[in-house]
Structure 1
Amino acid sequence: MSRKIPYYKTNNLLWRWKRCDGDDGCLLCPTASMSMDKEPPPLPVPKAPPAPKPPPPDRTLNTINGILNGLEALGRFKKWLDTPDPPKPPKAPPVKKDYMAVPPFDIQEIPGAMRKEHMPVGAKLMERWFNGRLNYSPDGSEVNQDGKPFAPDMYETGAVTLDWVLKFGRAKEACDYLVNIAIRSPEAIDALGNMLVPYKGMSGLYTDHIVKKDPRELHRLFQFASVRVGGTLADSVALQLRTQTQNFNRPDDLTGALGSFNLYAAVGHVRFSANFVNGERMSDTRIAELTGIWVYVKDNYTFSDASNAAQYLGHWSNGGVIVPVHGAMSASYVQSPVTIGSPTSKGNVHYPIHNSDFQQWAQKHKRGGDFVVYTDHRFVPINPPIQLYLRGDVAGEQVAGSEGTPGNNQAQNKQFKAVVRALGLDKYQARQLHEEISKQGLGYHEMLQRGQDMFGDGND
């Protein structure tokens, strides 16, 4: 019976996992261990301030100094001539090469292996993490281990573009859902209304003029909807362990770079206008129309685990990634290093990698900088615009357009309450109006007109 273990490797031509078993399987290599000893590149040295301009030279002093320096150099030369040659050191004995040794593999070689797996953006981000100073958040926020906000250089705004993200089908589908559906959800409308109240006295709001193209300020002040895009490299490997199918898509560069991340929508442009009821302007109300949004990605690049269990990221060597399995339909992975062929050949031994390995490396070297990735933000026109009713300092209700009432009871109830407030109806009048329009599917303006027909402009 073969002692070899089946494993899955990536097929870059068909972009899927390929099973290797039987004589093509791998062998356990329990004596091998991954290295964490290689020192990371030195941190960049901050530029020193320019030295003050020296005073003009004294010609007389320069002449005297030149003569003294010449005499000193002549003395050194004479001393060198009189000094005998030192004895030659004995030759060191030749180092015997251990032909049975396993070639070392350091964790910092993983980015190079990612490039071989066609994950260049993921490799670039991982190298940034290795090269950074120690920075992590104990609670997943943007406050570091010292209780200080992330420094400006812990925000990466140039490595990943939205165009690149949207080349991947799952990201494009999520973006379409965000733009067409998620921004019109009751939760998004509530957040949008609260956000716009302070600006309702303006005729128009261009958020880019306020945030000055700072993605952090845009996110902090004007983000109101998001959609999740999954999943992480650990999720991809875990799914492969559960399904063990060769048809499952292998991890791509988006997985290697961002894993599971969010697409966000932020306010781009809003028109504000007065609210007229039966030709009369309502002084305490305004209509806001959201005509455009900014779409972007924000993601925390970190190796923290979502749970207490260390997330398995596959077996890696400098040649790429594989997923060894115990047997048919076993959902557990092999926890020992394995070798494909001779373990003395560089790249044959693959080591199990977990998020905790990166955490251990960070503590050993006091390096490894968690950072936040922002893509560029793209303006997307919204047609038809989202209309909101704003009254006083209270965030308002969604206003239905010509197509009638929104398709959920929560939004309909908010529109009805907006009509009651606009007309100043008391509880008895509000109940009468509700009985009159119940189950007719009326929109805001239609309910408003029906209320005006019944009660005029409200209580005098």
Structure 2
Amino acid sequence: MPVNPGHLPTIHERPIWKSKQNEMADEFSYYKINKLLWRWSSKEGARIVREVGLSTDKAPPALPKQPETNSTRGTPTPKPPKPDPMVKMVDDIGKAVEAFSRFKIWLNTPDPPKPPKAPPPAKPEKAVPPFDIQEIPGAMREEMMPIGAKLMERWFAGRLNYSPTDDDERAKINQDGKPYPPDMYDTTTVKLDWVLKFERARSKYEYLITEAIRSDKARKALHDALIPYKDMGDLFTTNICGNDPEQLHTLFQFQRVEVGGTLAEKIMLQLAAGATNYSAPDDLTAAPGSFVFYAAIGHVRFSSDIASGVRVSDTRIAELTGIWVYVTDGYTFTDKAGDRSQYLGHWSSDGVIVIPLDGIAATSPYIPYVESPVTIGNPVIKGEVYYPIHNRDFRQWQIKHQRGGDFIVFTDRRFVPVIPPIRVHL
């Protein structure tokens, strides 16, 4: 995407839109969020704004300060000695004489001639206000997406961290070939109770804890996870993992249920719905977007296969009596290999609009994107020019500033009793 780091064209230097006979070629229909009904509302008249582009010049937020060590504190500076009173009196007399001499010179100096009046300053030309990519979190708050805004601000504030390939991303390996460092895990921003306020998430959660954990696939995963612990009497996974969500996830996760709904997916749903005005994206769309509920082993009772008090085989029986449920997801701007970069809407400081042609272009290599910003009002008013945003814009910002940290989101976890217990033969 072109970047305009310096001079902005003025209205008089270059027309903001084409002349009347060509104007319709540069106008597009668009969708804007109706905040009263929380639906996409179809509108007309988005006009291309030429020779301006998304800014990526704003400096990244400061990195968190490292704790100060004893070696860097140093020793306190000693106080200077008090001056001798006689020396101070002589200095004060000298300063008074010098001040009187300057006053006498000023008194005898004639007034300088008055300069001619300067001409009145020319009125500044009106220019299209710039829009920087780091203004998007503020725009998300305008669209009532505060959690999504916090996660994006965390990404901008992070040190450089990303996975070069899809396989690396799944393995949580960064550009240096190392596991994501601890500060690239966020366990406090997104709460499970908040996720469950959204009906589409609540229904998937209920399906996970009532049906999905009892599937044949889940039983097979339980069997494989429990084999190393079959000689125990009881297994409490917190005794092994403590409060480490990543270790619990790695060792004891056995079932998952996906919840769709990234911003790009919401845009495509609206394009498919057309004039029916599909529901607009909400904060759940902007925060984890498309995410997964996971079930991990919480508590298991082990026993021998006994009939009438006689052990009939060496088979052990595991009874799953409780699970941990949580959400985890990667916060990243990675595009699938070979695909076009995901279109995330046209953004300004006032919020987001969607150009249908860009949404369609995201699905076909033969349809060009609307790469230009558009205005839906007066282009010299801040917030009325909307800029196309794609995943690649965030990657280009990373390259330019050597900052921006992809990270892993974990919600808090909830213990859910399993009634009746799930029995697995080991």
Q: Same fold, TM exceeding 0.5?
A: yes
TM range (shorter): 0.7 to 0.9
Alignment-derived partner of residue 69 in structure 2: 49
Which of 248, 251, 256 pairs up with 1:226?
A: 256
Alignment-derived partner of residue 14 in structure 2: none
Paired residue secondary structure (1:313): strand
Alignment-derived partner of residue 345 in structure 1: 381
Q: Distance in 2 between matches of 1:77 and 1:107?
A: 62
Q: Distance in 2 between matches of 1:233 and 1:109?
A: 18
Alignment-derived partner of residue 12 in structure 1: 35
Paired residue secondary structure (2:235): strand
Change in 2 beyond 3 A, CA 1:65/1:224: same
Change in 2 beyond 3 A, CA 1:167/1:96: farther
Change in 2 beyond 3 A, CA 1:78/1:246: farther
Per-residue Cα deviation, 1:113-149 (whole angstroms, up to 9, x for no partner): 0001010000000000011111111121311111111
Quote the offset at 1:230 in angstroms: 0.6
Q: Distance in 2 between matches of 1:16 and 1:347?
A: 21
Alignment-derived partner of residue 314 in structure 2: 284
- Counterpart contact for 2:42–2:277, Cα < 8 Å: no
Which of 236, 246, 250 pairs up with 1:206?
A: 236
1:38 aligns with 2:58: yes
Change in 2 beyond 3 A, CA 1:43/1:384: same
Alignment-derived partner of residue 185 in structure 2: 155
Q: Which deviates further from its counterpart, 370-379 or 172-181?
A: 172-181
Per-residue Cα deviation, 1:391-410 (whole angstroms, up to 9, x for no partner): xxxxxxxxxxxxxxxxxxxx
Q: Distance in 1 between matches of 2:308 and 2:52?
A: 82
Quote the offset at 1:239 in angstroms: 2.5
Paired residue secondary structure (2:275): coil
User: Identity of counterpart residues, as a percentage?
Assistant: 55
- Counterpart contact for 2:53–2:372, Cα < 8 Å: no
Per-residue Cα deviation, 1:64-97 (whole angstroms, up to 9, x for no partner): 9444899799979979996989xxxx9x999866
Change in 2 beyond 3 A, CA 1:289/1:75: farther
Q: Distance in 1 between matches of 2:264 and 2:297?
A: 34
Alignment: residue pair count: 378
Alignment-derived partner of residue 188 in structure 1: 218
List gaps (5 residues or longer) in structure 2: 1-20, 104-114
Alignment-derived partner of residue 121 in structure 1: 147
Q: Distance in 1 between matches of 2:77 and 2:356?
A: 76
Q: Distance in 1 between matches of 2:40 and 2:153?
A: 26
Q: TM-score, normalised by structure 1?
A: 0.75
Change in 2 beyond 3 A, CA 1:81/1:265: farther
Quote the offset at 1:30 in angstroms: 2.4
Structure with higher RCO (Cα < 8 A, 6+ apart): 2
Alignment-derived partner of residue 407 in structure 1: none
Taking the TM superposition and a 5 Å limit, the aligned residue runs for 1:239-388 are: 239-277=269-307, 279-282=309-312, 284-308=314-338, 309-326=340-357, 334-388=370-424
Aligned Cα RMSD in Å? 3.3
Q: Which deviates further from its counterpart, 93-102 or 138-147?
A: 93-102
Paired residue secondary structure (2:155): helix
Paired residue secondary structure (2:306): strand
Q: Distance in 1 between matches of 2:301 and 2:70?
A: 50
- Counterpart contact for 2:347–2:353, Cα < 8 Å: yes
Change in 2 beyond 3 A, CA 1:101/1:271: same
Q: Distance in 1 between matches of 2:89 and 2:252?
A: 70
Change in 2 beyond 3 A, CA 1:42/1:53: closer
Paired residue secondary structure (1:43): coil
Quote the offset at 1:324 in angstroms: 2.1
Paired residue secondary structure (1:128): helix
Paired amino acid for 1:318: S
Q: Which deviates further from its counterpart, 271-280 or 381-390?
A: 271-280
Paired residue secondary structure (2:70): coil
Query: Of the two, which has the highest radius of gyration?
Result: 1
Alignment-derived partner of residue 245 in structure 2: 215
Q: Distance in 2 between matches of 1:77 and 1:164?
A: 74
Q: Distance in 1 between matches of 2:149 and 2:85?
A: 54
Paired residue secondary structure (1:105): coil
Paired residue secondary structure (1:243): helix
Q: Distance in 2 between matches of 1:114 and 1:38?
A: 18
Change in 2 beyond 3 A, CA 1:274/1:348: same
Change in 2 beyond 3 A, CA 1:54/1:7: closer
